Amino acid sequence: MKKLKFRAIGLVCATLFAGSAMAQQVTLRLHQFLPPQATIPAKAIIPWAQKVEKESGGKIKVQMFHAMQMGGSPAQLFDQAKDGVADITWTVLGYTPGRFVKTEVFEIPFIAPSGPNAGEITSKAVWEYVDKYAGDEFKDVKLIAVHAHGPGVFHTKQAVTGLETLRGMKIRGGTRIVNNMLVKLGATPVGMPVPAVTEA
């Protein structure tokens, strides 16, 4: 797979392209689940789309559909790219538990390093791993990029001073692997889409 210069801090996610023959001028519909002002769209997806338009000399236009404007749920975004509902989608692989079992390895606690470059290091590792071992999970689409963030952080009103303080807490885990870890630590995983997290 050709390596592209599109990396961002976020969840383990994939940007997908269901290709078609390039004409003189083409408009690609990009569908994703966050509002445009959220970090990933504002700092990565929108600038990437603008760069595509600029570097193609205006021959490729990327039409943005934020916050599930084309319908469906975040868990359906991969299939929307595969089925041609959208030309490009950005989603979280963990939203479809058990579907990307090879790639889920990057959700295992402590797999990512800590530090200021953790997201970049992990993103590169995910890309190389998918290229070498998990390409079959993406055989129905053209994978443009994957990216990951560094280790997760607890955001709570109650201080988390040790593993014992997690017992009985309700915590959004976001993926099957993280939710399993929370259960083993005595916490209760709560299902919640990313846009709802700030209000929780």
| Residue 2 domain flag | no
Residue 16: its pLDDT value, please? 46
DSSP per residue, 18-69: ------SSEEEEEEESS-TTSHHIIIIIHHHHHHHHHHTTTSEEEEEE-TTT
Question: Does residue 152 form part of some domain?
Answer: no
Q: Is residue 86 part of a domain?
A: yes
Both 39 and 83 in one domain: the answer is yes
Quick one: pLDDT at residue 128?
Answer: 97
Residue count of the chain = 200
Binned at pLDDT 50, 70 and 90, residue 21 comes out as low
Please check whether residue 31 lies inside any domain of the structure.
yes
Both 95 and 122 in one domain: the answer is yes
Could you report the per-residue pLDDT of 91-104, keeping only the tens digit for each? Answer: 999 889 899 999 99
Residues 6+ apart with CB under 8 A from 196: none
Q: Looking at residue 197, what is its pLDDT? A: 80
Query: Can you give the residue range of the structural domain that contains 192?
Result: 163-199
Number of domains in the chain: 2
CATH number at residue 115: 3.40.190.170
State which amino acid sits at residue 178.
V
The Cα–Cα gap between 101 and 144 comes to 19
Do 49 and 111 lie in a common domain?
Answer: yes
- What is the mean predicted confidence (pLDDT) over 165-187? 93
**102-144 pLDDT tens trace:** 999 998 888 889 889 999 999 999 999 999 999 999 999 999 9
Residue 17 is predicted with a pLDDT of 46
**pLDDT (average), residues 49-78:** 96
Confidence of residue 10 (pLDDT cuts 50, 70, 90): very low
What's this model's pTM, rounded to 2 decimal places?
0.82
Q: Which of 39-43, 51-55, 59-63, 191-195 shows the lowest per-residue confidence on average (mean pLDDT)? A: 191-195
Q: Is residue 6 part of a domain?
A: no
